[in-house]
Amino acid sequence: MTYNRSGRSGLKLPAISLGLWHNFGGINTLENGRAMVRTAFDLGITHFDLANNYGPPAGSAEEMFAGILRKDFLPYRDEMIISTKAGYYMWPGPYGDWGSKKYLVSSLDQSLKRLGLDYVDIFYHHRPDPNTPLEETMAALDLIVRQGKALYVGLSNYSAEQTREASRILKQLGTPALIHQPSYSMLNRWIEGGLQDVLDEEGIGSIVFSPLAGGILTDRYLNGITPDSRAGGPSVFLRPEQITDEVIGKVKQLTDLASERGQKLSQMALAWVLRRGRVTSALIGASKTSQIEDAVGALNATEFTDEELALIDRILG
């Protein structure tokens, strides 16, 4: 495993981190989740990423992870980075969503109970709140660190300008932002339009989610959509209409390039987001242990020639 420093902090994160967004909820089996976490840790993945609403049902991913911690990992707590988030809908009424101090502090208290922990390593605000003053949301993050409920704080889904202002406030409060969690992949390059520059300027790391574009940047859909795939199921995050003939044509060309590099497409896609050191960690999801093994295998070939990068840009148009 490669470990990268997060911004200008003292914390290093594994180049590949495991997200528990899917396949760790109440509808999934504990033993499969346990096998995936054990495999990840054995391969050097020390960072496990959660949120209050991960499941389904909401909260159940934290509960499953708590069971895995109790069974296997309590002696290794100090070798693990455990993160959670709040910012999306969690409970009914006026205090269960967005970014008020009331919601963020209450939500983390609930998460810690579900996890069976005294603190998390990283607590994120999951999305910007258009109605709560940014000063209040950042003050809540600062308070949470001062209360000892989190060691570091991060942001997710914030724009470049929102990130710059949030960072300014947090620095004034004395709790600088450790990390930003945006979406990023070969097919979704929005962070190159300013956010990466802000993160560099502010000394904030980045951990990118959906680096495989929901599974499009794998061999999963080369021969059509199957009922057991994400696009073939009820997921609202990957719809069949996103997998067009044009997209699959590009994926096939990228697959050929990956093969020339001695990689699977999924491995090349992970290596690509990590290229040139501008991303601290790539956050993967998994439904079986072999996918985690493949992801870590991406680190065997992380360098790209200028010609390869230019070809990828031409393919993606």
> In the structure, what pLDDT confidence band is assigned to residue 238 with cuts at 50, 70 and 90?
low
Nearest to 65 by CA among 78, 84, 79: 84
Would you tell me how many other CB atoms lie within 10 Å of the CB of residue 210? 24
Measure the CA–CA gap between 149 and 161, rounded to whole angstroms: 28
Residue 115 in this model has a pLDDT that exceeds 60 = yes
- Rounded to two decimals, what is the model's pTM? 0.94
* pLDDT 10s digits, 3-13: 999 999 999 99
Residue 232 in this model has a pLDDT that exceeds 50 = no
Residue 57 in this model has a pLDDT that exceeds 80 = yes
Is CATH 3.20.20.100 correct for 3-215+276-300? yes
Measure the CA–CA gap between 73 and 262, rounded to whole angstroms: 35
* pLDDT 10s digits, 74-92: 999 999 999 999 999 999 9
What average pLDDT does the segment 29-33 reach? Answer: 97
> In the structure, what pLDDT confidence band is assigned to residue 245 with cuts at 50, 70 and 90?
confident
Every domain of the chain and the residues it spans: 3-215+276-300
Q: What percent of the chain has pLDDT over 90?
A: 90
Measure the CA–CA gap between 22 and 134, rounded to whole angstroms: 30
Query: What integer best gives the mean pLDDT of the chain?
Result: 94
> In the structure, what pLDDT confidence band is assigned to residue 109 with cuts at 50, 70 and 90?
very high
Measure the CA–CA gap between 96 and 234, rounded to whole angstroms: 25
Residue 220 in this model has a pLDDT that exceeds 90 = no
